[in-house]
């Protein structure tokens, strides 16, 4: 092989590796079993969600006269690892791409995170709406959570109906069935 061909192949190999390194790959085998994606699915998108979760002081359903901070709704922006906004996340739960496609889902499992952080989560996706990044998504994981837990402020009859907004961050990882 001559020097020009060797340089050409080295450049191509470097470009291919650089392209592969643009997205964090989740090692499901290293996650708590409850939030692992079932085998037969491949990761297609990795995003960082930054936003806030709203809680409301409500009377407990199963204990009259007792109150708690109840989850109301999240709202967050989704960015790729370079910080480019690629979508949003909001109540439903709903993940919506900037291309207009969106997916909702149902929680399958959670696993505790470090103290002061909302739990890790596995969601089974419903069929997506629209063509684009969310089409075919089967599962979504919430990983690397920071913050987002219910407030520690007093919550009693005097605070009933009051709301508190708590900042949070989490990585959302999207999977599709392997072909």
pTM of this structure: 0.85
The answer on pLDDT for 11 being more than 70 is: no
pLDDT at 63: 80
Distances, alpha carbon 11 to alpha carbons 16, 17, 21, 61, in Å: 9, 10, 15, 63
pLDDT at 22: 62
The 10s digit of each residue's pLDDT in 125-160 is 999 999 999 999 999 999 999 999 999 999 999 999
The 10s digit of each residue's pLDDT in 16-67 is 333 334 678 999 999 999 999 999 999 999 999 999 999 999 999 888 889 9
Helix (H) or strand (E) holding 17: helix 3-20
Tokens for 137, please give them.
């998504």
Q: Which residues pair with 33 in a beta bridge?
A: none
């Amino acid at each position: 092989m001559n020097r020009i061909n060797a340089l050409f192949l080295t450049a191509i190999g470097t470009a291919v590796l650089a392209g592969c390194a643009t997205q964090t790959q989740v090692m499901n085998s290293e996650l708590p079993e409850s939030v692992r994606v079932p085998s037969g699915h491949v990761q297609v998108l990795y995003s960082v969600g930054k936003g806030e979760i709203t809680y409301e002081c409500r009377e407990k359903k199963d204990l009259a006269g007792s109150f708690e901070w109840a989850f109301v709704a999240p709202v967050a922006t989704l960015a790729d690892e370079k910080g480019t906004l690629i979508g949003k996340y909001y109540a439903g739960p709903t993940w919506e791409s900037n291309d207009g496609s969106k997916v909702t889902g149902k929680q399958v499992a959670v696993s505790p995170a470090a103290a002061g952080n909302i739990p890790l989560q596995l969601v089974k996706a419903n069929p997506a709406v629209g063509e684009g990044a969310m089409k075919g998504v089967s599962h979504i994981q919430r990983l690397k959570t920071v913050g987002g837990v219910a407030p520690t402020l007093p919550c009693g009859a005097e605070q009933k109906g009051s709301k508190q907004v708590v900042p949070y961050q989490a990585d959302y990882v999207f999977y599709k069935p392997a072909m």
